[in-house]
Structure 1
Amino acid sequence: MRRNLKFKKATSLVLAASMLVGGSSNAVFAKTEGKEAEKPYDGVTISMMMNQGTYTTTFNGVFLDICEEIKEKTGITMDIQPVTDFMDVIQVKLATNEIPDIFVHNLPQNVKLFNAQENCVVMNDQPWFERMSSPDTVLYEDGNLYGMPIQSATWFPAIYYNEDILKQAGYEDPHPKTMDELYEICEAIKTKCPDVTPLYMMDNDTTKTQIFMTMGLGVALDDQKEVYDKLQSGELKFSDVPETKEIMEDLKKFYDLGYVNPDHMSTRVDDGVLNMAGGTAAMMIADEWTLQDIINQNPDLNVGSFVIPFEDKDMAVMGNFVVAMYVNKNGENKDACLAWINEFTQPEYMNRFNIETGTLATFKDCESAELHPAVAHIYEDYVRKGNAALEFNAYLDDQKALLDSYLFFLYADVISGQTTVDEMWQRWDDKFAEFQKQNGVPGF
């Protein structure tokens, strides 16, 4: 179980609140001696839109408390708008110029998808920029920062498992070195713990289905990065790459052998969290945010982790993104948004936010959470040692919208028996070529 870190409270108050100059907010709002703080944005309401899952795991709880405290200082009311189909909704908002004041999603991964160069504030000149611990990792290719990162690193996917159930099945501190060994663990759980689902899947949400694939192909092609250039240029088709079919077959095998919950096509992440927390599921393919949600449900649960041995390799996977707050640069509340974000970045708030949400600090003067041991295993023993592949999806950032709207659903079609692996990759090849041709990419 993750233990909350103690953190020091500020020993003095910031003396002055300065107004916005040239689009950059230096405002930090505090009481001066004998006076109430000025509230230059009193009565302003700013909207913040995000994915429902992100709200549940990160922007609930302590974040809501912080919003109320910042409101007391600044007068700004935060209107949080969690939506289920965020990517669809935000694309419509961007197309119709009904963009929320702030929206929350991946950075720099989605800069192009959101057309952030036209729609969002460049934040290189913000007063908190120089406090960032690793700004180079989140800058876009043009050298600009298009959002305020709420973390310095994220997304450590693995199999997270209930240690007590695995012990009942005969495994203590498991570390499968081949896919066959992983299937053997599933079979042991199925046989010795018949009331427990060996691997809980949530395929009603295809963003969860695809985690196995983006991890597996990232590892499988880690030493063949030239393949990505050939795919992007049309020199190769995805169906020409043996690993695409091998990893898809590996995923399908969990379903074919009965290791997955029968209702997987109707379940979402909340169902997985409840089953893991309740002891009716042994393992999940998840990230650290989902794990935190499980621990929040059952703080006494003993959880371990191991990497999936794709292609029989002992290697973790990492993403090319962090979660960030994008600001609508054409919105009437732009200045209030920048002032609010600057206040939020202060250690007074960020320490609490990081610790309560299990986040690695964005800023050098703020504290990070103590990682849950299961997450620390992946981060310390693999990622920090350089033994982690970049996920497959990271090499298809220009086609991000097509992944979300088409490829992820093809994966679900395979595991639900609606199409074969060969047919699925042929359909993706056709759709990918059509997309590339429409966008004027040479070779298509």
Structure 2
Amino acid sequence: MSAITQGARHPMVTDISRATLGLIQGRRFKQDAARYVDSYEKFMARVVELGIGVDEEPPTSGRNEYRLSATEVHKGIGGKNWYYGTVSPACIDCRTGACSKTVFHTLACNRDCFFCANRNQAEYGHFTKSVNDAEKELEQADSGSGYTSLALTGGEPLLFPEKALSFFQFAAERYPGAHKRLYTNGDLLTDERAAQLAEAGLNEIRISVKIDAGGEAAMASTLEKLSLAKRHIPSVLVEMPVIPGTVETMKRLFLSLEDRGIDGINILEFLYPWTNGADYAAQGHKLKKKPYRVLYSYNYAGGLPIAGSEDACFELLEFAAAKRLKLNVHYCSLENKLTAQIYHQNATARLMPHEVLSDKDFFIKIARAYNTNAKKVKKYLDKVAPGSYQLAGDYLEFHPRHISGLTGIDEIALTCNVVERTNNGSQMREIKIDLVTPATFDYASDI
């Protein structure tokens, strides 16, 4: 495992919502920003129709981040994950998805969790009855550079134990340098199977602990499976969502994992998987007021984040640091799971001089000035960077690195863009506008 670190500075980019739209002074700028505010509100209205409410309380995660910055808890590169201790190399690879691949044999499972998102997977019904050729999928997806991380997931992969074993044997032979992991609920794991998987080259196993039903007895059974795995497999982790209201149970779980010498736990933001809205509402769960920072058609099937889960994860990170546990704790937010798609779409784009690929969220960022501000920016850039901008009607687009050098300008638009590929080629699409003030903008932190 290896650590990844970033400072705790808060970004100076204003997210434009209905509440902050009035901060924009320029009429044309405000009109452009309002289009995205309207789109987000329409999206949320459709979500509410599914039967789940939205939390209207102001988010507290920013205050929790500030508190954590004074502990041994670190913010990951990009600011979308936090960790105490170290992070699995597979989690680091997952951020871009480059040279990383996760496959399955089946989407069938011996459990029926109300929060499971597998029903959102393409061809879910088909792959609960038919078996996917995971090895063939790996080879077909290989771009020629191989893989650094590979995973077998489900459904429950140990419903087909022999196929799981042959998969890791194949992966070890075909991609010997790749870090190989298995996701399982642990119910079907035996001592013999754990030993066989380790011999086949499995580096890491991630076992889910279900604490929403079955209580402490169900948790105790899974703890025994974790100890069993620890006898054979090099790295043993728990991976599970943190459901609001379960913090005290989670703390007891942390201490039990510590006592058993388990390597770590990945705590995930609890998500609403676009179904079972009535079940979520009955349990008092509501969505985050703004589920996505940037509204887009994401491929990730997990769903939308539930209010209070992130706060609970921060509390658990603080608990681990206060107790000085040897257990590694990694919080993976929904936003952290979305970065690989954006990286894949944007990383190979040929950028214009006024465009930059963010190394934090992988959106292509462009600075924009409107009307009289556009004239001021043009005058400045003609002196310091001639030809580095693009004029388009009543606005001017330029590279964000020049924002902090501007004087006498109170507002600049910062756009988020993605490259989309169709049968007719590729095109870049703007999907969000933020507000920045040149006097407080810091390129290294805010892009």
Query: Normalising TM by the smaller chain, what interval?
Result: under 0.3
- The structure, 1 or 2, with the larger RCO (C-alpha pairs under 8 Å, 6+ apart) is 1
Structure holding more strand per residue: 2
The normalised TM-score by structure 2 is 0.24
